[in-house]
Amino acid sequence: MRKRVLLLSALLFPALSTASAQQKITLTWWINPWRIAPPGFPEGKTPTGEEFPKYISDQFMKKYPNVTVKYEVVPNQGFREKVTASIFAGNPPDVLRPIGFDTNLVKQNLLEPIDKYLTAEDRLDFLPYALNEGKVNGNYYMWPWNNSNNGMGSTMLLNPKIFAERKVALPKAPYRNWTLEQWLAAAQKLTFDRNGDGKTDVYAITLAAQDTENMLGWLNRFGGQLVNDQGTAFVINSKEGVAALQFMVDLIHKYKVAPDGASGLGVYDTIDNLHQGRAAMGYGGIYEIGRIDRYVKEGKLKDPINVLVAPFPNDPKTGPVAYQTSGGFVVFKQKDPYKQKMAMELARFITNKENDKLLEDLLYFSARKSVNKGFDFKGIAAYTDVRPQVTVYLNAIKSGKPYYGPSSIDVQPAMKYFTAAMQAALSKQKTPKQALDDFVAQATPLVFKK
């Protein structure tokens, strides 16, 4: 009898597999704007963010004609709220590139683990920290895609023209490491009144309280960190964190190398001050060189500026520190096994070697080691050679650490209090210690339920 059942199963299984292969399904996926130019994109034009997901969707549908793929480019502003609303409505996308991996999605049993879909080659090829970014309770939940970010929180951009004008030596490549003391000495020379009217025309740097990643970049200078290594408590109000915030306050109010009004500024204000020559230094990595090129083509920036990448200055006692981060794609739970399989296939397709190579156009690195070996970043812009900056950037992010603590915790609910603390300290409404103590007191119940 048992043999008959097995024989019947063997006869039926191919038929069921064929039926599944021909099953018509629709997959949805969401991504925030990534201005990646796919193959065949016209030279001289700048992508809008729609081109990459359209290309991926079209290619996937060619490979699987029975699958209809619908993508949506979700603006950064309001991204998290839209995802949350879709979950409450019971209609999240099948595949999502979250802005920051959210462990709560796993805790709420909303995501599919990807472990059984990872090949041995995948496991060897993905950067370990990028794969571990989506690891919860021993399982993986995210297909790694990009390695590092746009450089915010890791490196600075220097305007060598202003350095030359002020006769300030550039830190030496290929590391361009400099201590806080060396950096401050340069910053004081780079802040000046160009037209002699008694007002500062060029500042060395811009501090912006609403620019979280660069604020965290500064706070890590003396060994301060937002969360302890165990992921059990906020510790940014340590003596190291307080010393770092005091240094930031002093850059504005004592040394006057950064403009006042930091409490109302965000990251785009820091970018604009660099682009407009109001600051000799800004923030970001090689991606920001691409932003300059794009702004020139779009007419937002009249003249291209040549920039050099350099790490944040370091305290010799703690050494260099950069922001370790990555991103990828998650797959939401599926009731239909075939749809689950194809949703996972779509996430794999987006992050395979061939499609990961497209990140080079955006001056981003891949989470796959094999893909990064093939990047040469030549021909991005006629007026600058990106490749030396790539070397400096890669050297800088070797000292990466996760600014938001272990990926097993979600600190986002508390970050509005972090911004408030930065605003209070940089405007001198509170001392650095008062501001950071208040942040820890407000944030701890939200994240650690204490």
Q: Is the pLDDT of residue 5 over 50?
A: no
Structure-block tokens of residue 314: 């370091």
pLDDT given at position 65: 96
Size of the chain, expressed as the number of residues it contains: 450
What does the pLDDT average to over 55-62? 98
Res 49 pLDDT > 90: yes
Residue from 184, 272, 218, 258 nearest 418 by CA: 218
| Residues 72-85: tens digit of each pLDDT | 999 988 998 999 99
Task: Evaluate whether 381 touches 289 at the Cβ level (below 8 Å).
Answer: yes
Cβ pair 56, 374 in contact under 8 A: no
Distance CA 315, CA 275 (A): 28
SS3 328: strand
Q: What pLDDT digit, counting tens, does each position of 415-444 carry?
A: 999 999 999 999 999 999 999 999 999 999
272 class by beta-carbon count within 10 Å (0-12 exposed, 13-18 middle, 19+ buried): middle
Does residue 19 carry a pLDDT above 70?
Answer: no
What is the pLDDT, as a whole number, of residue 142? 97
203-230 as b/e: b if 16+ CB within 10 A? bbbbbbbbbbbbbbbbbbbbbbbbbeee
pLDDT at 289 over 80: yes
**Among 10-14, 91-95, 246-250, 299-303, which stretch is predicted with the lowest mean pLDDT?**
10-14
Instruction: Give the chain's mean pLDDT.
Output: 92
Structure tokens, 215: 């604020």
Give the span between the Cα atoms of 155 and 240, in whole angstroms.
20
Each residue's pLDDT tens digit, 245-265? 999 999 999 999 999 999 999
Tens of pLDDT, residue by residue over 383-393, are 667 888 888 99
> What sign results for the dihedral spanned by CA atoms 9, 10, 14, 17?
positive
pLDDT tens string 182-208: 999 999 999 999 999 999 999 999 999
The confidence score (pLDDT) of residue 12 equals 43
Whether the Cβ atoms of residue 119 and residue 343 lie closer than 8 Å to each other = no
Q: Per mean pLDDT, which range of 1-10, 105-114, 174-183, 354-363 is the poorest?
A: 1-10
Kindly indicate the confidence band of residue 241, based on its pLDDT and cuts at 50, 70 and 90: very high
In the predicted model, is pLDDT for residue 9 greater than 60? no
Question: CA angle 296-301-303, nearest 5°?
Answer: 80
Token readout for 320 is 């260099």
Please tell me the predicted confidence (pLDDT) of residue 57: 98
Neighbours of 59 (CB within 10 A): 17
pLDDT band per the 50, 70, 90 thresholds, residue 407: confident
In order of 116, 166, 364, 407, the CA distances from 129 in angstroms are 19, 41, 17, 10
Out of 94-103, 111-120, 154-163, 264-273, least confident range: 94-103
Lowest mean pLDDT among 67-71, 131-135, 272-276: 131-135
pTM metric for this prediction: 0.84
